[in-house]
Amino acid sequence: MIQRILLTVGILSSCCLPPGTADDSHPLPTASENAQQIDRFLADHWAELRVAPAPLCSDRTFVRRAYLDLTGRVPTTAETENFLKDGRENRRFALIELLTNSEDFVQHFTDLFDTLLMGRGSDRDYEQRHKHQWRSWLERVFRENQPWNTAAAEILRARPTTPADSGAVWFLYERKEKYQDIAEAVAPAFFGIRIECAQCHDHMIAHEIEQQHYWGLVAFFNRGKNVNTKRGPRVAESAVGGFSEFATLDGTSKPNLLTFFEADVVEEPRPEKDAKEEDRDDLYTPGSDDAPRIPRFSRREHFVTDIVAEHPLLATAFVNRIWAILLARGLVHPFDEMDSVHPPSHPELLKWLADDFRSSGYDIRRLIQTVAMCRAWQLSSQQPEGVEDSSTFSWYLERPLTAEQLARSIQLTLRGRFANDSPLVGNVRNAFPDVLPDESISTIRETLFLSNNPAINQFIHESSASGSLLDRLFSLPDHNQRTALLFETLFCRDADSDEHQAISDYLGSDPDQLKPRLEHVIWSLLTSAEFRFNH
């Protein structure tokens, strides 16, 4: 158990720093030191606005929150107890360090980034992402804590050099040569901006996003072609073509130069209009059976080296997104509209975080630890009186569990283990597609699913094997003990006397009714807001 071993590791250990980033003379500040810097930024803002933040949350609340936010599931009762028993003053930081080094952390952040980079898909899309190693490639990014700029470059270059890197092509490949789709996905995924509006005209509100940025971004990818090699799917690139003009609103047309938002134009010889280009072999370095030939002037390569590598938004968008994941809204909100219409709530903090992320070598785990160790993440979720503005981060904003968090937590609490490929995951995913919604609005569709879809009922009903929650409840001697076990397992807390009474009265005294009624009680707890939200 990686977790048990790591419990003994102190929080100031350097094990979380990737090799080569810490220079002995100028060691990087640790995540917890960094977190204090965040605390100062936020506290200054609170003082300025005369906002009194919520108090720190209780340890019980903290442990559930930490497991959900960092590992994508609720803790087991044993994990909760372990934490509550830990008398050390730094137990919260120790838990953060433990969890961010666990395999469940890898799975959870892979789930999140799969959705953020690829979007939700059909069951078949998920099978394909798995089969073509996108999933395992993304897992490896988090497991090995690869720097984000490296990962981004691999995805956008889409030229794997080892079999293990094959999956990186899937971001482009799944979009099937639909170059506008690719551009519209690249902009929010790596730069935190939405450019759809700029297809037909310069963005009418965020004026800085221009039509040439849209078509420039398309041009970087419009020579791509999906091919199948012995080593699996690849995205080949042509050395010719892909020149076009786009029509502006005033009726003129402009060439689709290789450029992007906040970047220069990449120079490329442009053939005369209507001139026929010859697709000669000498325009390429030769390929092989398992790797397509590469143009000597590769637009994708230029995009990676000339645009992405130095782009200021690469780090800023990423830190804003991690902030949004952990604090339920971005410093820029919505997190993927980082334009002039959506100014950051804390510009200095955002800049500082981005600078720190860059100087750490785009160290993802350290960034997540940094944000998790800040005080704002540990505040009570009870909104303080007199404060309305959630962008103050003066209380912990509750957020609905994602489909994966929900499906995993249901499995774990009812059966003591979970499988990512349980049919429950797919069912819940279809009903709850949202990840990081701008606002938490419950829909009728979701609610009908919880109320009536057989998937949940059946899962509860079939979770009665020896050792399961249902089995243990059934064998307990009285309703009080049953209620206590239910609340510990599902809510990570003790039931109060009203709750004891409610369950006890409902379960009644008819032994024949005990099992079905226990199932109903489990349903009612699983579908109550306390379980549905992370708070």
- The least distance separating other proteins from the CB of residue 391, rounded to whole angstroms, comes to 8
Q: Residue 489: which residues within 8 A CB-CB, separation 6 or more? A: 77, 413, 469
Q: Which is nearer to other proteins, 45 or 299 (CB)?
A: 45
511 sits near other proteins (criterion: CB under 8 A): no
50 sits near other proteins (criterion: CB under 8 A): no
Residue 150, CA distances (Å) to 56, 154, 303 in order: 37, 6, 14
61, two tokens = 């609340």
- The least distance separating other proteins from the CB of residue 210, rounded to whole angstroms, comes to 15
Angle value at C-alpha 517, between 511 and 521, nearest 5 degrees: 140
55 sits near other proteins (criterion: CB under 8 A): no
352 sits near other proteins (criterion: CB under 8 A): no
- The least distance separating other proteins from the CB of residue 336, rounded to whole angstroms, comes to 11
Q: Which is nearer to other proteins, 288 or 528 (CB)?
A: 528
516 sits near other proteins (criterion: CB under 8 A): yes
510 sits near other proteins (criterion: CB under 8 A): no
388 sits near other proteins (criterion: CB under 8 A): yes
- The least distance separating other proteins from the CB of residue 355, rounded to whole angstroms, comes to 28
52, two tokens = 């009194």
Footprint on residues 161-200 left by other proteins (CB under 8 A): 196-197, 200
52 sits near other proteins (criterion: CB under 8 A): no
Backbone angles phi, psi at 300, to 5 degrees: -65, -45
Q: x-or-dash pattern for other proteins, window 455-474, by CB under 8 A?
A: --x-----------------
- The least distance separating other proteins from the CB of residue 363, rounded to whole angstroms, comes to 32
- The least distance separating other proteins from the CB of residue 33, rounded to whole angstroms, comes to 32
Is-contact 239 268, C-beta < 8 A? no
Please identify which residue in 448, 465, 467, 474 interacts with other proteins, judged by CB under 8 A: 448
Longest dimension (CA), the chain: 88
Is-contact 319 354, C-beta < 8 A? yes
Q: x-or-dash pattern for other proteins, window 238-257, by CB under 8 A?
A: ---------x-x-x------
Footprint on residues 485-504 left by other proteins (CB under 8 A): 497-499, 501-504
Q: In this structure, how many other beta carbons lie within 10 angstroms of the beta carbon of residue 317?
A: 25
* Contact window for other proteins (CB under 8 A) among 145-153, 171-179, 268-276, 393-401: 393-401
Please identify which residue in 177, 202, 398, 471 interacts with other proteins, judged by CB under 8 A: 398
Residue 42, CA distances (Å) to 7, 31, 333, 341, 428 in order: 30, 17, 16, 22, 36
427, two tokens = 């069912």
Residue 221, CA distances (Å) to 75, 298, 323, 344 in order: 43, 10, 30, 30
Tell me the C-alpha distance between 478 and 465, whole Å. 20
Please identify which residue in 441, 475, 510, 511 interacts with other proteins, judged by CB under 8 A: 441
Q: Which is nearer to other proteins, 271 or 423 (CB)?
A: 423
Q: Which is nearer to other proteins, 231 or 520 (CB)?
A: 520
- The least distance separating other proteins from the CB of residue 236, rounded to whole angstroms, comes to 31
Residue 207, CA distances (Å) to 197, 350, 402 in order: 11, 22, 34
- The least distance separating other proteins from the CB of residue 468, rounded to whole angstroms, comes to 19
Tell me the C-alpha distance between 112 and 78, whole Å. 26
102 sits near other proteins (criterion: CB under 8 A): no
Please identify which residue in 3, 136, 381, 464 interacts with other proteins, judged by CB under 8 A: 381
Going through 110-244 in order, the beta strands assigned E by DSSP cover: 224-229, 232-237
278, two tokens = 């010859």
Residue 205, CA distances (Å) to 182, 195, 202, 392, 408 in order: 23, 12, 9, 25, 41
Is-contact 494 488, C-beta < 8 A? yes
Tell me the C-alpha distance between 331 and 512, whole Å. 55
- The least distance separating other proteins from the CB of residue 63, rounded to whole angstroms, comes to 18
438 sits near other proteins (criterion: CB under 8 A): yes
Please identify which residue in 3, 37, 90, 524 interacts with other proteins, judged by CB under 8 A: 524
373-385 core/surface letters (b: 16 or more CB in 10 A; e: else): bbbbbbbbbeebe
Please identify which residue in 241, 312, 347, 508 interacts with other proteins, judged by CB under 8 A: 508
Total chain residues near other proteins (CB under 8 A): 60
* Contact window for other proteins (CB under 8 A) among 71-79, 411-419, 468-476, 505-513: 505-513
Please identify which residue in 67, 362, 449, 459 interacts with other proteins, judged by CB under 8 A: 449
Beta-bridged to residue 234, according to DSSP, are 227
Tell me the C-alpha distance between 247 and 4, whole Å. 61
Report how far apart the first and last C-alpha atoms of the chain are (Å, whole number): 27
Q: Are strands 253-255 and 245-247 parallel, antiparallel or unpaired?
A: antiparallel
List contacts with other proteins (CB under 8 A): 196-197, 200, 204-205, 247, 249, 251, 381-383, 388-391, 398-400, 434, 437-449, 451-454, 457, 497-499, 501-506, 508, 516, 520-521, 523-525, 527-530, 532-533, 535
